[in-house]
Structure 1
């Protein structure tokens, strides 16, 4: 896809890790910061769409104040005034998960609206915290898990173990961005579901939007947007799902794509 979009872009959605923020530097490229402010000056809505939780968002304020935050892969979406979408994992599936953890333990991160915690940690958890530059969450027993309040959980398992888990739990879907863990959300969820809720609230059509991402959990979002842009550092499957592949996050790929499509000059 080349040239200016057929319809005026009214909203742009950005993944965080590997898109806005570099995995290598844990920082935002200077051209990206300038681009975010330029979008706002043009009256374009600017949103974050991430697998991270609400509790992990304050660090973004050092760079930019977004119009809304689509967190937990679209399961918890909010702006400064209200919660736009909140979708929890099926309580029956959470009870099954706890039974599995009691029988054969593995590290699992549970995320609720205002908190997250692990049952226990190992080197895989430490590695994830290092990659996303985040402190180790607190640890609690399974009796702390509230069956009807889990928005997302993150099992630290390999791909074969993932198939067994998601085959047992009937009302979930999963997405993976690293080899040693994956995100589990309610079936029918995803960043595209969060986008739909936000756009309905704002009266913006999907073909009036643009989205940037690099991970497998971004594929639905890139397909839902009018223009889906994959970062140069994205996996091949993500690039294949996009309308356009830009430069990497370290090379200022966001600003480059916005200029390519004539959104910014």
Structure 2
């Protein structure tokens, strides 16, 4: 069944490898034109990513308040500028993660809070901090994670790429029922509260806006998009997506570097 634009009331897009090109640009005039047509059709646009809210909104300067955001892989949900949900990891889970990472010093950990993200001195390099700063625009050095006073949304450990599966299994075993790992590839892992993911964030907005999952379309390319693509009535995998993502999706659209999301939005919400 091909989607009817009159029935689509929510479009959710992952950012890295999906909406943004590899150089992190996108065709702003083309997107603004599509967004205008979507608004006329009564359709909401949601940016759904593992990245920090402040980083995500920086890509939509001057009009981010027209969009909604599911950040930190579902740990933070905003309807325009109104906070809908923020996760709050328990002290027990925080302690368990920190103890586990101390036993595996090759794991470079980032603690992600509501106010900022944090790197602990002596556990990661300056180079890692600078790279992380690209994805977390609010990032601070701290002497001790355990002394941070903030509401913790998730952890974002980086592990050796070739050991990603090993560490996901380890986290799943050692943090059972406290936090669950989800990987977006390239050694990047998010440790999030169970059942807290992009789809759970979408569900909160769907209920808030009085629509149904069948009226939603989603675009993604990685493992942390699987729940979202399965949840929405119309799931689009990018041409550059991994095979398991394409298996879950209903459709495959052009790659992120070929502006696949915008190409599809122009089809779903045609000009004129």
Gaps of 5+ in 1: none
**Alignment match, 1:169:** 175
CA RMSD of aligned residues (A): 2.6
Label 1:56 to 1:255 Cα distance change in 2 as closer, same or farther (>3 A): closer
Q: How far apart are the structure 1 equivalents of 2:101 and 2:78? A: 31
Q: How far apart are the structure 2 equivalents of 1:208 and 1:251? A: 26
**Alignment match, 2:200:** 193
One of 194, 202, 225 as aligned partner of 2:209: 202
**Which deviates more, 155-164 or 56-65?**
56-65
CA drift at 1:134: 6.0
CA drift at 1:126: 5.8
Label 1:234 to 1:183 Cα distance change in 2 as closer, same or farther (>3 A): same
Q: How many residues align?
A: 260
Decide whether the 8 Å contact of 1:32 with 1:254 is kept in 2.
no
CA drift at 1:188: 1.0
Structure 1 residue ranges, 4+ long, deviating more than 4 angstroms after superposition:
132-136
Give deviations 1:162-217, integer Å, cap 9, x for gaps: 32223111221111123322111001111000000111111011101111111111
Q: How far apart are the structure 2 equivalents of 1:56 and 1:234? A: 23
Decide whether the 8 Å contact of 2:54 with 2:136 is kept in 1.
no
Q: How far apart are the structure 2 equivalents of 1:258 and 1:75? A: 27
**Which deviates more, 217-226 or 98-107?**
98-107
Decide whether the 8 Å contact of 2:185 with 2:222 is kept in 1.
no
**Alignment match, 2:10:** 11
Q: How far apart are the structure 1 equivalents of 2:18 and 2:63? A: 14
Gaps of 5+ in 2: none
Decide whether the 8 Å contact of 1:192 with 1:224 is kept in 2.
yes
Decide whether the 8 Å contact of 2:13 with 2:220 is kept in 1.
yes
**Alignment match, 1:236:** 243
**Alignment match, 1:179:** 186
